[in-house]
């Protein structure tokens, strides 16, 4: 019995790996078929679910659906997810994913729609450090601008004939409309080795879209999408953030071939324990 039980257990584990392999093949085929579809406007994709053309929830129905939208990024609400290592210029470098809310505009008019969380891609750790330092530093600059503005307002003649620096600054800093193409995702499912997020100190180890939206003061039911690198990006100087390549969405940490290798390993152990059990039974019969 000591040998028969491991034989049955390892055989069951091998069969389970084959079942997982078939499911993984179906999943990758589903992703591939979604990527072969023509991208549609984000508001059109959301309208499909609202019209009842999709039977499951929005996050599941639109998983890996290629969409595009135009809008304005709110850089002040960006969060960094990581650390995530990436091979850059032939060497592994520490970095983070940057997630920013994008206030999309309707394709039919200029109405601003609900924002969407966009994983814009990978940035080196130095950019995150600069962003965190910038968040702590602006108070002195703001105080200086306010001080200069108050001085100008005290002089009525200058206030009548000149524009305050704040207006000049607002006019110079114009929000550029950007077009983002990506795929809709439901966030990330961390494993047991990934620490819990700590929103109170701005530390995010994995993407939790509802929690991120709540921290940003935005609706928790926001759509989350990951930007996809454009094929026409070229091989010139890399510009950050670096969006994910299309091939990255068609891969999995454990591929079907890996499941097949695991199944062969378990079946080999099952065959070995079966052989040992048969030999033990034969020797027992001869002893009698």
**pLDDT given at position 11:** 94
Which percentage of the chain shows pLDDT scores above 90?
31
CA distance 229 to 226: 10
Residues 237 and 217 occupy one common structural domain: yes
Average pLDDT, integer, range 174-182: 79
Place of tokens 């406007």: 41
Residues 47 and 28 occupy one common structural domain: no
Specify which residues 81 forms β-bridges with.
97, 204
**pLDDT given at position 122:** 93
> With contact defined as beta carbons under 8 Å apart, do 65 and 34 qualify?
yes
**pLDDT given at position 173:** 38
Residues 21 and 91 occupy one common structural domain: no
Residues 21 and 136 occupy one common structural domain: no
Residue 208 pLDDT greater than 80, yes or no? yes
Residues 271 and 227 occupy one common structural domain: no
**pLDDT given at position 206:** 93
Number of folded domains that form the chain: 2
Residue 170 pLDDT greater than 60, yes or no? no
**φ, ψ of residue 103 in degrees (nearest 5):** -90, 100
Helix (H) or strand (E) holding 77: none
Q: Is the peptide bond before 119 cis (omega within 30 degrees of 0)?
A: no
* Total-model pTM: 0.71
**pLDDT given at position 19:** 96
Residue 236 pLDDT greater than 80, yes or no? no
Residues 225 and 246 occupy one common structural domain: yes
Contacts of 40 (CB under 8 A, 6+ apart): 65, 66, 67, 68
Give the mean pLDDT of the chain: 79
**pLDDT given at position 253:** 84
Contacts of 130 (CB under 8 A, 6+ apart): none
Range from 186-200, 222-236, 256-270 carrying the lowest mean pLDDT = 222-236
Residues 195 and 272 occupy one common structural domain: no
Residues 27 and 83 occupy one common structural domain: no
Residues 26 and 89 occupy one common structural domain: no
CA distance 262 to 259: 5
Domain that holds residue 17: 1-36+254-288
Q: How do strand 178-185 and strand 224-227 relate by DSSP bridges?
A: antiparallel
Range from 83-97, 197-211, 225-239 carrying the lowest mean pLDDT = 225-239
Place of tokens 């454009």: 230
Other Cβ atoms less than 10 A from the Cβ of 181: the count is 16
Q: Which of residues 114 and 78 earns the better pLDDT score?
A: 78
DSSP characters over 100-112: EEEEEE-SSSS-E
Residues 169 and 278 occupy one common structural domain: no
Residues 170 and 71 occupy one common structural domain: yes
Residues 210 and 165 occupy one common structural domain: yes
Average pLDDT, integer, range 48-61: 55
Residue 247 pLDDT greater than 80, yes or no? yes
Query: Side-chain half-sphere of 28: how many Cα atoms within 13 Å?
Result: 16
**pLDDT given at position 113:** 64
């Amino acid at each position: 019995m000591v040998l028969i039980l491991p034989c049955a257990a390892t055989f069951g584990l091998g069969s389970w790996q084959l079942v997982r392999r078939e499911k993984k093949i179906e999943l990758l085929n589903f992703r591939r078929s979604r990527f072969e579809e023509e991208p549609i406007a984000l508001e059109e994709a959301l309208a499909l679910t609202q019209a009842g053309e999709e039977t499951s929830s929005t996050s599941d129905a639109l998983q890996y659906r290629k969409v595009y939208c135009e809008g304005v990024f709110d850089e002040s609400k960006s969060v960094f997810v990581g650390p995530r290592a990436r091979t850059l210029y032939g060497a592994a470098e520490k970095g983070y994913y940057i997630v920013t809310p994008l206030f999309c505009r309707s394709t039919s008019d200029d109405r601003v729609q609900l924002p969407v969380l966009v994983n814009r891609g990978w940035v080196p750790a130095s950019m995150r450090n600069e962003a965190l330092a910038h968040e702590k530093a602006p108070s002195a600059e703001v105080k200086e601008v306010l001080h200069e503005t108050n001085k100008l307002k005290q002089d009525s003649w200058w206030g009548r004939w000149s524009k305050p620096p704040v207006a000049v600054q607002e006019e110079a800093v114009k929000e550029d409309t950007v077009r983002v193409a990506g795929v809709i995702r439901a966030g990330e499912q961390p494993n047991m080795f990934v620490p819990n997020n700590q929103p109170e100190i701005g530390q995010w180890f994995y993407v939790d879209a509802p929690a991120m939206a709540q921290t940003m003061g935005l609706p928790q039911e926001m759509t989350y999408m990951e930007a996809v690198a454009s094929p026409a990006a070229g091989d010139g100087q890399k510009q950050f953030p670096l969006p994910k390549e299309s091939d990255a969405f068609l891969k999995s940490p454990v591929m079907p071939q890996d499941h097949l290798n695991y199944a062969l390993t378990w079946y080999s152990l099952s065959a070995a324990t079966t052989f040992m059990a048969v030999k033990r039974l034969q020797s027992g019969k001869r002893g009698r």
